[in-house]
Amino acid sequence: MARTPRVEIHPASIKHIKKGHPWITLDRFSAKFPKGAKFLRSRLDEKNFVVLLNDPNHPNVKARVWDISEKSLIEDKEFVYALKGRLYRSIELRPQSNFDRENYYLCFGEADELPGLFVIKLANQILIQFYADFWNHFEKDVVRIIAEKFPNETLWVQKRNLNQEKEFYCATDKRKKEENIVLTEYGVKYHVKFNKYYDIGIYTDMAAIRERVGKNIEGKDVLNLFSYT
């Protein structure tokens, strides 16, 4: 088993990680992180190590916290096993919520202990979004795990980037280049377009505020200047 490279991290980063912060940002320590490694490790205290997902191409976030434990090494097989467990747990939490909409997150990045990975259910489509280049190493594993849970859904993959360059494809049918659907959220119909633009036409993370606003403007005409649909 290849050893996970050990790195030194800024004392402030150690302090923040212990308080639950999920990232290591660019500083004089993280600037020296090895570029080619998938994982990094660093000692937090006499007892624990932190295992990090290396993200050398990001201009600001250089690594993301994956695990804190007495164990300091990790290999690909072990990571994929843990990844599957975290994804399943995240997905299985969602049906306990009563959504009056066809769009919701199956996985919300750091909040579900899946740094830089977001998965959205959009009617009968599922959109997997990678916000960190680290996931290029395990892209096929993520798609496979999601497909196991949703064998009848169409899966799309998007790699988000700071330049907003469109990197989009259909993982379940490589012949499919675009897809347009209509979904319902709190009684409102939205046109969602996969692989036509960088954004698909609806921000699911704003669904809660749309619900609150909708209750206050019922029966009124509304001009939404921030809508893509």
The pTM of the full predicted model, rounded to 2 decimals, is: 0.88
DSSP state of 123: T
d(CA 127, CA 142): 12
For residues 18-35, average pLDDT: 97
Task: Give the CA distances from residue 62 to residues 6, 10, 99, 116, in Å, rounded to whole numbers and listed in that order.
Answer: 15, 12, 35, 12
Q: Decide if pLDDT at 13 tops 80.
A: yes
Query: Over the chain, what is the mean pLDDT?
Result: 91
Tokens standing for residue 149: 């849970």
What phi and psi, each to the nearest 5 degrees, are found at residue 103? -130, 125
SS3 call for 131: coil
Taking alpha carbons only, the member of 117, 65, 67 closest to residue 87 is 117
pLDDT band at 196 (very low <50, low <70, confident <90, very high): confident
Q: How much is the pLDDT for 229?
A: 47
Mean pLDDT within 163-191? 90
Which tokens belong to 215?
A: 């209750």
Distance CA 28, CA 47 (A): 25
Q: What is the model's pLDDT at position 2?
A: 61
Q: What burial class does residue 116 get, using C-beta atoms within 10 Å of its C-beta: 0-12 exposed, 13-18 middle, 19+ buried? A: buried
Query: Domains of the chain: which residue ranges?
Result: 11-69, 99-216
Q: CA-CA distance, 52 to 62, in Å (whole number)? A: 10
Confidence of residue 204 (pLDDT cuts 50, 70, 90): confident
Q: What is the pLDDT of residue 197?
A: 85
DSSP string, 34-101: -SS-SEEEEE-SSS-EEEEEE-TTSSSEEEEEEEEES-----HHHHHHHHHHHHHHHHHHGGGS--SB
34-64 pLDDT, tens digit each: 999 999 999 999 999 999 999 999 999 999 9
Cβ–Cβ < 8 Å for 185, 103? yes
* 91-135 per-position pLDDT tens digit: 998 876 677 888 999 999 999 999 999 999 999 999 999 999 999
What's residue 227's pLDDT?
54
Looking at the domain 99-216, which fold is it?
Transcription Regulator spoIIAA (3.30.750)
